[in-house]
Structure formats: C-alpha cells, structure tokens
Amino acid sequence: MPDKIRRLLPLLGHSGGSRDAMTCLYRCGNACDHPVPNTSDNDYLGDVVNAGMSRRGVIRAGAVGGMVLGFGGALTSSAPALAGGTSHGGSHGGGKPVKAGRLTFEAVAPNTADAVTIPKGYRSSVVIRWGDAVVPGAPAFDVHNQTVAAQLKQFGYNNDFVGVLPVPGESDRALLVVNHEYTNENLIFPGFTTLDALTVDQIKIAMAAHGLSVVELERVKRTGEWKPVEGKRLRYNRRITALETRFSLTGPAAGHVLLRTAADPEGRTVIGTLNNCAGGVTPWGTVLSGEENVNQYFVGGDQAPEELKAKLTRYGITTTARYPSDSRKWERAQERFDLAKHPNEAHRFGWIVEVDPFDPEAPPRKHTAMGRFKHEGANVIVADNGRVVAYMGDDERFDYLYKFVSDKKFLKGNSPAARRHNLSLLESGTLYVAKVTGDSPASEIDGTGKLPTDGRFDGKGKWIKLVSGNTSFVPGMTAADVLIFTRQAGDAVGATKMDRPEDVQPSLRTGKIYAAMTNNTNRGVGTNAAVDEANPRNANKHGHIFEITEDRGDHTGTGFTWQLPIVCGDPAAADTYFGGYDKTAVSPISCPDNVAFDSAGNLWISTDGNALGSNDGLFATPVEGRERGHLKQFLTVPRGAETCGPFVTGDDRSVFVAVQHPGEITGATVEKPASVWPDGDFAKPAVIVTWRPDGGPIGS
Ligand code: FEO
Ligand code: CA
Ligand code: CA
C-alpha cells in the first residue's frame, strides 16, 4: 500500500482482529472469544483418492443450468429465464473457450469516510433501508415509537445476502430478496442501556427485524438503477421473520425425535429463521439462505441432557452456564430459547432455508438433507448429468467445506410440473465434506505465506461421502445423526480444517468453484491446527480465496484440484499473492467474505472486517487469462459497516450491495451515532445499487 494511503487509515477500534467488539457480540456471540468449537484431531495429510485426476480442458458442466438470467432484452419467457443463476445470470461456457475478462474502472482508494465511495463515472443510490415499508400498510418508520406490528411489515435490520430475480415476462421488474442476519439493540433502541433492561416488546421487535424481505423492484427509466414498486397491489412483497413465520422441515431428518419439541410434537414445523447470512439464487428461481451463528440465541445449555452437551458445544452453544453473558436474552420473550426447558429447539436452526419468492403463500422450507452447521450460504450449479450441486461453507475457524448432490435431475422448461419437480431437488441427495492435500513438501509451507518452490499453493482434494438419503457413511452415526450433527460427521472422517469458509460459489462461465476463507487468527497459534498448503499462513489476519476445479468438470464426482488464486492483504507485503499479477497494480484487500460473478466471469468479492485499517469494500478481479489476479476496489462502505451481497444482474448493468451494520463501533448509540449514513441522522443498514449512467456494463 502506498504510504500516502497508509497515512489516511487511522485504525478503527476493534477486538480480537479487525471487527469492532460490538459486531463480535451481536453478530456471532463473541465467537472469537470462545474456545474453537472444533477440537477434533483431524489430520491434514490424509490419503486422497485421485484416480483419474486431470486438468480440465473446457468445463461443460452446467450447460443446462447456464441459461440466461434474463434481464433486459434477454427475458423472453417465464421460468426458463430464471434459470442459470447462482448470483448472476451469465451463460455457462457450454463448451466454448472462456474469454479473459477485463475490468477498466478506476480503482477506489482505501478510505475511512462515512460514505459510499464508487468509481468515477458511476452512480449509486439507496434502494431500501431498515424501516422502509415492505408489506402494504406498513407505517412510516419512527425510531422513537417503533412497534412489533410495524417492524413485521418493514424492511428488517442488517441486510446481508442480496438476490435479484427478474419477474417472469417483465424486463423492468424484479424481486429483491434480502437476508436480515442479526440486530444490534444498541443502535436500534433510543435510550438503550442493557439487553436485560429491554421490554419483551423490544425483544419481539428485534425478532421481527431478523429474517428475510422480498421486495418488488422496478427499473428507473431504462437505467441500471432500481427502486421499490410502491402502492397497495404488491403481489410478492413479504416479510419472513424469526417471530412468526412457519417453516417446514424437509428431508430425511424431518420428524426425527431430536427435532421434536413441546410446540411441535411432529418435529416438522419450526417458527422462524435465525442469523441468515449469505445465500444463493437457484436455477429454478428460488432463494437459499444460510442459518449461521444460531448458538447465541440459546441459554440453559448447562441443564440440557448430559448426552447432548458435547453436541451442543461443537455448535458453539455454552453448556457451562445457565445464562451465558453474550446471549441475546430472547428466552425472556419466548421460552423455547431456553434449552433447560426445550433442549431440541437448538437443532431446529442451522439449516439451509429455501424461499420461493414467487409464491408468497408457500411456507419457506429448511432442508435437512443439506446438513446442519453454521451455514454461510449455498450456491447451486446444474451438473452435466442434470443433478444439481450445492456448494456450502461452515463459517467457523477450523471448520469445513461441503457439497450436496441431488438425487433427482433438474427439469428444463417452465411448466408448473417442472417447477414443482425442481422445488423438490434439495429434499433428497448426498452430502459430502472436503478433504484436501497440498502438492508441495510440508517443509516448504512455513506459515509466513512464502510461496513453495513450485510457485503455487495448490493440490488435490476429495469429497468424502457422509450421508445419502437414509444411509450413513460415517461409522457410529445414523443418517439422522449425520444430518443433525454434521460437524461431528466431518470430524469423524477427517475433513480439512479451513480458515473460516464463507461464501462458496461456482462460476457459470468455467465451472470452477470459488470459496472465501475470511481469516483465522488462531491458525498455527498455540495448540490449534498448524498451517497447511490450503491454509498457509500463521495467524491468518487477511484471509484468502480457494479455487476448486472438479475432476473432468464433473460437479457430481469426488475428486478435484485446487489453488489459492488470491492470498489477501497489503499487496506490498511479501505474504500476499494475486494470481502472479503485478502486485503494484492491485488494491489492498482484507477478509474476503461474499463472492459473486458478472456475466463475463469476473469474480466480485466483498469484505468483512478489513484488518488494514480502512473501511470494507467490494472488489473485482478477472480469474482467467492474463488479467487473472488484477484485483481492483470497486467501492467502499461507510464507517463501521461490512460489505455484503454482492449481486451483479445478468445484464451486467447493476451491482447491488448490502451495507451491513454501518456505525457499529463501540460506544455508538442512536443518539450518538458513529455513522450517520445514509440519511444524515443515525446509521441504518441499507441495500444500494450502483450503475453506469451511460448504460454500459458494470466494471468494464
Ligand atoms: Fe455472517 Fe459468515 O458471516
Ligand atoms: Ca504447490
Ligand atoms: Ca458473511
């Protein structure tokens, strides 16, 4: 980083790394201050089955799933136009050679401004913010007189995942689907003192501010700008909350005795969703959402049945205190959050949720076949053989990467029967966990980030089968055990401990899969797992990107090769790597979190917790050809905020970003905000859109 920029970067206050202490408390229940939940002694150097491993020529997989997410003129029919998309609608390689992307925007400099900063020649606007009306009849937002009834109809707090799905048959209408991961009561309630002092109604307001929102958008005058449709006849607008929405459990573990509670003796219906972090858009036009740090909502773990305690602990739930100091106190509003009384309630969270935004009456579903852990998100690709494959990360230090392969095949076409069929794809299949090895001698991975003599952090990997339908492949665990306690199943088979796997997403251009390892300051520290070639830095502050190439391009197979295309940090530092690109020409990046692609296949990366002292941001880089690793910062978010989303529309004309927890800096309140973005009064999480007024494609 040039000194001139470095001087502009006074350190923001933080604890245990780069995030503010307030974020640590509210977002993940101070996860970094707790012992690492993975105490298994998994070995990194396992034997990797690599029969037939060969470098891919041109990936053809996903040709079915690579249909265009039709924004603009490309939208010609209904359901098929929705296909193609994880977080974008780029058409897949389909056998054609992949062209190198090129990004021509002028990089934004790192900064600590209380503003959104975008490249010259671009524009941005707020699409929707906390408190804005979602459901018809929502009252105007009044922070001093907020009610449960109002929040149930208004946009929730702390927007995270962003998906934008075109409304069939209408090129200028789309559905915005957003996660609301968590609340920060210090910044929501004027006069806040302590969580214990909150009224029960205030706790219910927080519960109503969790969940998801579905908001119908319209394009502004043929530009890349979008805004909410207003009026009373909104067909799709919807709030999904932790307080009242009913979810159906699907898959092999639905109805299992460990999922039954006093309120739900059948074990098939759950009220609410918690801590929804990232997600993905499926090729059949639904949204997946990951339930992540769900542990912090529960108390009473010390009085849970003895045989459950080790299992609860592996999921980060405190079993040594009646009321952990960093819990959210929701048991004061709803007894189910007290495990002393309802020990199975915790098992009903930590799933992948599927929402059909085009059917507001349909209950959202929690898919047990996809396993239970701290789900960051899930992104789907259609394999050559028609099965759908979802890639997933468990966002905790030293936890694992997973994939799910459906039993059934994706059906093309937009008939009601095809859609009904596709809606069942994630209810049955096979769950795998990743085990990886490096190809360089262990002695060359010294923990400093120095490249081994072959010039790359790279190697091979194997997807280890955990469970398929009702058949378990983990000795000593039933299929239901594997699905409900998936972390322990990963431990048992020796999965590779990674540096906090966040968003994992296949590129529909190349079929390669990209996973963000956000950071892990415990790597190689004390008795924690040592470095390995896939997680090569001690006390990894800045994270890295993990790129997977499935053998023979088969997403349903069990072998892969991998590389680290980007090892994040200050490009001037010796421990960083940008695909071999000239490091004087790239932007500093720290703590990659969410990833997305534009239709050219460029990788977009948003950050959470910039440990270089500047605000978080959004970055983009080509991943193929000579420009691979030429990473540039596209925007920055205001003080205290994290950059979430992101989502590039299929026509490349708009990029959406969720600005999460602006002003979340210790000591801040509604009355004394650390950020006044976006309205000049107090901080409000909001979704923004950025576009080019000349109508050109974003980035290039
Ligand atoms: Fe909610 Fe993994 O960040
Ligand atoms: Ca190597
Ligand atoms: Ca995240």
CA terminus-to-terminus distance, the chain: 24
Q: Whose CA is nearest to atom 3 of ligand 1?
A: 277
Q: How far is the CA of 533 from the centre of ligand 2 (A)?
A: 7
Amino acid 101: pLDDT: 66
pLDDT digits (tens, 9 = 90+) for 669-685: 999 999 999 999 999 99
Mean residue pLDDT of the chain comes to 90
Mean pLDDT for 130-156 is: 98
Query: Is any ligand 1 atom within 6 A of the Cβ of residue 642?
Result: no
Ligand closest to Cα of 28 equals: 1
The region of weakest confidence among 233-237, 554-558, 571-575 is 233-237
Is residue 503 over pLDDT 50? yes
Strand partners, 408: none
pLDDT digits (tens, 9 = 90+) for 647-665: 999 999 999 999 999 999 9
Query: Is any ligand 1 atom within 6 A of the Cβ of residue 502?
Result: yes
Q: How far apart are CA 290 and CA 393, in angstroms?
A: 10
Ligand closest to Cα of 452 equals: 2
| Total Cβ atoms within 10 A of residue 46 | 16
| Closest ligand 1 atom number to CA of residue 293 | 1
pLDDT digits (tens, 9 = 90+) for 160-208: 999 999 999 898 999 999 999 999 999 999 999 999 999 999 999 999 9
User: How far from the centroid of its chain's Cα atoms is residue 314's Cα?
Assistant: 21
Q: How many domains are there within the chain?
A: 1
| Closest ligand 1 atom number to CA of residue 27 | 1
Q: What angle (nearest 5°) sits at the alpha carbon of residue 61, between those of residues 59 and 63?
A: 110
Please check whether residue 335 lies inside any domain of the structure. no
Mean pLDDT for 512-526 is: 97
Task: Answer yes or no: are the C-beta atoms of 510 and 624 closer than 8 Å.
Answer: yes
Q: What is the model's pTM?
A: 0.92
pLDDT digits (tens, 9 = 90+) for 88-103: 333 333 334 445 568 9
| Closest ligand 1 atom number to CA of residue 374 | 2
Ligand closest to Cα of 376 equals: 1
Q: How far apart are CA 584 and CA 598, in angstroms?
A: 25
| Closest ligand 1 atom number to CA of residue 290 | 1
Q: How far is the CA of 376 from the centre of ligand 3 (A)?
A: 6
| Closest ligand 1 atom number to CA of residue 376 | 2
Q: Which residues keep their CB under 5 angstroms from ion ligand 3?
A: 277, 502, 593
Please check whether residue 137 lies inside any domain of the structure. yes
Mean pLDDT for 257-281 is: 98
Q: Token match 């108390």: residue?
A: 299
Helix (H, G, I), strand (E, B) or coil at 615: coil
Q: How far apart are CA 698 and CA 636, in angstroms?
A: 16
Q: Which structural domain range is residue 416 located in?
A: 3-292+350-691
Cα torsion through 352, 355, 361, 363, rounded to 10: 0
Is residue 87 over pLDDT 90? no
Mean pLDDT for 372-389 is: 98
Ligand closest to Cα of 441 equals: 2
DSSP state of 497: P
Q: How far apart are CA 89 and CA 91, in angstroms?
A: 6
Helix ranges (H only) for 511-606 are: none
Q: How far is CA 513 from CA 403, 500, 506, in A?
A: 11, 16, 4
Per-residue confidence at 42, pLDDT binned at 50, 70, 90?
low
Please check whether residue 169 lies inside any domain of the structure. yes
Radius of gyration of the chain (CA): 23
pLDDT digits (tens, 9 = 90+) for 470-496: 999 999 999 999 999 999 999 999 999
The conformational region for residue 17 under phi > 0 = left, psi -120 to 50 = alpha, else beta, is: left
| Closest ligand 1 atom number to CA of residue 395 | 2
Mean pLDDT for 65-84 is: 30
Q: What are phi and psi of 206, to 5 degrees?
A: -60, -40
Ligand closest to Cα of 181 equals: 1
Residues 6+ apart with CB under 8 A from 479: 252, 253, 467, 469, 470, 471, 472
Burial of residue 508, with CB atoms counted within 10 A of its CB: 0-12 exposed, 13-18 middle, 19 or more buried? buried
Amino acid 232: pLDDT: 78
Please check whether residue 605 lies inside any domain of the structure. yes
Please check whether residue 210 lies inside any domain of the structure. yes
Q: How far is the CA of 258 from the centre of ligand 2 (A)?
A: 44
Please check whether residue 441 lies inside any domain of the structure. yes
Amino acid 78: pLDDT: 29
Q: How far is the CA of 129 from the centre of ligand 1 (A)?
A: 20
| Closest ligand 1 atom number to CA of residue 160 | 1
Q: If you write DSSP's letter for every residue of 635-680 in order, what string do you get?
A: EE--TT-EEEEEEE-TTSSEEEEEEESTT--TT--SSS-S--TTTS
Q: How far apart are CA 289 and CA 212, in angstroms?
A: 9
Ligand closest to Cα of 23 equals: 1
Query: Is any ligand 1 atom within 6 A of the Cβ of residue 277?
Result: yes
Q: Whose CA is nearest to atom 1 of ligand 1?
A: 277
Is residue 49 over pLDDT 70? no
Amino acid 99: pLDDT: 52
At 187, the amino acid letter reads L
Per-residue confidence at 430, pLDDT binned at 50, 70, 90?
very high
| Total Cβ atoms within 10 A of residue 73 | 8
The conformational region for residue 601 under phi > 0 = left, psi -120 to 50 = alpha, else beta, is: left
Sheet of 642-648: strands edge to edge? Answer: 123-129, 686-691, 654-660, 642-648
Q: Which residues keep their CB under 5 angstroms from ion ligand 2?
A: 439-440, 452, 454, 456, 458
Task: Answer yes or no: are the C-beta atoms of 59 and 552 closer than 8 Å.
Answer: no
Per-residue confidence at 329, pLDDT binned at 50, 70, 90?
very high
Please check whether residue 312 lies inside any domain of the structure. no
Query: Is any ligand 1 atom within 6 A of the Cβ of residue 616?
Result: no
Task: Name the residue among 300, 396, 337, 330 with its Cα closest to residue 28.
Answer: 396
| Closest ligand 1 atom number to CA of residue 608 | 3
Residue 240 token pair: 């999904």
Query: Is any ligand 1 atom within 6 A of the Cβ of residue 376?
Result: yes
Amino acid 84: pLDDT: 32
Please check whether residue 429 lies inside any domain of the structure. yes
Is residue 47 over pLDDT 50? no
Is residue 10 over pLDDT 60? no
Query: Is any ligand 1 atom within 6 A of the Cβ of residue 292?
Result: yes
Q: How far is the CA of 278 from the centre of ligand 1 (A)?
A: 7
Mean pLDDT for 334-356 is: 98
